[in-house]
């Protein structure tokens, strides 16, 4: 068994490297029994206003647990998970790994994340021993969009809203409290390309882990990418309605999350381009798909997520400009 990220107790506060990515500490697992791992409540992250632990953290910790049970000659290529219950940020999460199959070319694991004896998240993860493609190589081209330099980050936009008197005091205080918490990852929204219909349900972001990831283990970058893949996956459905801030749902939760890893040749603390597109929204559910490229244009990752979106009032669709 390999340990791509050190487990065990968190280091003392005065020994932490201020430039180290806080996300690296947030995804730690401690092995407490054979194929049983614990995520300490001290490191769990619940966004303000959320029902429970951030889903991306549970996703990446489940992936981490599966990786810890697989020989280093195999690389993860797919992950399929279901959110069953909201995670309680005040309790440890225990991850149980089952070794479903160990083949010559593929290895399969199932992971159950539990609190109070109940499964809050479950996933099936498959690993593949790398093979030559023999020339069979096809990949979607990277969209032509501006680079990350000069674009406003999510936090800068929140700061603008926190200082905007047009927002209520309650909302401005919410933004200030959000900004007071350290960021685990940074996103910069990309202006919509001129050749894309303003009502098309697609969004583009440059995203990277905040801070520096130590070490060169490819697994830590895969795990951190899994975390970032759950950041705002469903908001693209609201583009035809003026954006999610204009039509905020009364409930928005993830139901399932699937990921496909195409390459390990990237760093999660370097800028990555996320293209997120809604392919269907109906029956109070949203299905969105995501592709991720490096700045060099290499497609490294794809994912899909379905979520539940409820609204107390009907939404108004924007009118197309002639």
Specify if 1 maps to a domain.
no
pLDDT at 88: 96
- CATH code of residue 225: 2.40.160.210
Of residues 30 and 192, more confidence is placed in: 30
User: Both ends of the chain: CA-CA distance in Å?
Assistant: 60
Residue 320: band (very low, low, confident or very high) from pLDDT cuts 50, 70, 90: low
Q: In the β-sheet with 272-282, what is the strand arrangement from edge to edge?
A: 30-33, 36-39, 93-102, 106-115, 118-128, 75-83, 251-261, 299-310, 285-294, 272-282, 202-209, 185-189
Q: Which of 154, 230, 258, 302 is catalytic?
A: 230
Specify if 3 maps to a domain.
no
pLDDT at 166: 83
- The yes-or-no answer on residue 302 being catalytic is no
As a whole number, mean pLDDT of residues 227-239 equals 95
Residue 47: band (very low, low, confident or very high) from pLDDT cuts 50, 70, 90: confident
Residue 277: band (very low, low, confident or very high) from pLDDT cuts 50, 70, 90: very high
Q: Which of 26, 61, 275, 305 is catalytic?
A: 305
Note whether 201 and 209 are within 8 A (CB).
no
Residues facing residue 259 across a β-bridge:
79, 303
pLDDT at 6: 42
Count of domains for the chain: 1
Q: Is the predicted pLDDT of residue 239 greater than 70, yes or no? A: yes
Q: Which domain holds residue 192?
A: 13-130+139-310
As a whole number, mean pLDDT of residues 85-102 equals 97
pLDDT at 76: 97
Q: Which of 57, 115, 126, 254 is catalytic?
A: 254
Q: Is the predicted pLDDT of residue 306 greater than 80, yes or no? A: yes
Specify if 294 maps to a domain.
yes
Q: Is the predicted pLDDT of residue 291 greater than 90, yes or no? A: yes
Residue 51: band (very low, low, confident or very high) from pLDDT cuts 50, 70, 90: confident
Q: Is the predicted pLDDT of residue 322 greater than 70, yes or no? A: no
Specify if 321 maps to a domain.
no
As a whole number, mean pLDDT of residues 311-317 equals 88
Specify if 113 maps to a domain.
yes
Give the CA distances from residue 100 to residues 37, 63, 105, 126, 193, in Å, rounded to whole numbers and listed in that order: 17, 15, 14, 10, 45
- The yes-or-no answer on residue 312 being catalytic is no
Residues facing residue 303 across a β-bridge:
259, 290
- The yes-or-no answer on residue 69 being catalytic is no
Residue 50: band (very low, low, confident or very high) from pLDDT cuts 50, 70, 90: confident
Specify if 7 maps to a domain.
no
206 DSSP assignment: E
Specify if 63 maps to a domain.
yes
User: What predicted TM-score, i.e. pTM, was given to this entire model?
Assistant: 0.90
Question: Tens digit of pLDDT for each residue in 147-199?
Answer: 999 999 888 888 888 888 887 888 888 888 888 888 899 999 999 888 888 89
pLDDT at 198: 84
Q: Is the predicted pLDDT of residue 8 greater than 70, yes or no? A: no
Specify if 188 maps to a domain.
yes
């Amino acid at each position: 068994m390999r340990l791509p990220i050190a487990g065990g107790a968190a280091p003392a506060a005065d020994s932490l490297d201020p430039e180290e990515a806080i996300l690296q500490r947030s995804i730690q697992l401690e092995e407490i029994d054979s194929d049983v791992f614990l995520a300490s409540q001290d490191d769990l992250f619940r966004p303000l206003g959320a029902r429970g632990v951030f889903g991306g953290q549970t996703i990446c910790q489940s992936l981490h647990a599966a990786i810890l049970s697989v020989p280093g000659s195999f690389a993860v290529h797919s992950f399929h998970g279901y959110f069953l219950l909201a995670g309680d940020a005040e309790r440890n999460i225990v991850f149980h790994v089952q070794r479903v199959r160990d083949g010559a070319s593929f290895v399969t694991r199932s992971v159950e994340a539990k609190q109070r004896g109940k499964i809050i998240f479950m996933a099936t993860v498959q690993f593949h021993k790398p093979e030559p493609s023999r020339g069979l190589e096809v990949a979607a081209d990277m969209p032509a969009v501006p680079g990350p330099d000069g674009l406003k980050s999510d936090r800068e936009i929140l700061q603008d809203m926190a200082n905007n008197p047009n927002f209520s005091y309650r909302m401005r205080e919410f933004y200030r409290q959000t900004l007071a918490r350290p960021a685990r990852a940074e996103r910069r929204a990309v202006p919509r390309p001129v050749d894309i219909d303003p009502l098309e349900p697609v969004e583009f972001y440059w995203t990277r882990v905040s801070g520096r990831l130590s070490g060169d283990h490819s697994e830590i970058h895969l795990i951190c990418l899994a975390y970032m893949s759950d950041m705002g996956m469903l908001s693209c459905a609201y583009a035809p309605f003026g954006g999610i801030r204009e039509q905020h749902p009364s409930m928005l939760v993830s139901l399932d999350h699937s990921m496909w890893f195409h390459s390990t040749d990237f760093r999660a603390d370097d800028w990555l381009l996320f293209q997120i597109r809604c392919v269907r929204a109906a029956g109070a559910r949203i299905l969105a798909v995501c592709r991720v490229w490096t700045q060099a244009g290499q497609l490294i990752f794809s994912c899909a997520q379905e979520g539940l979106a409820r609204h107390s009032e009907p939404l108004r669709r924007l009118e197309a400009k002639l």
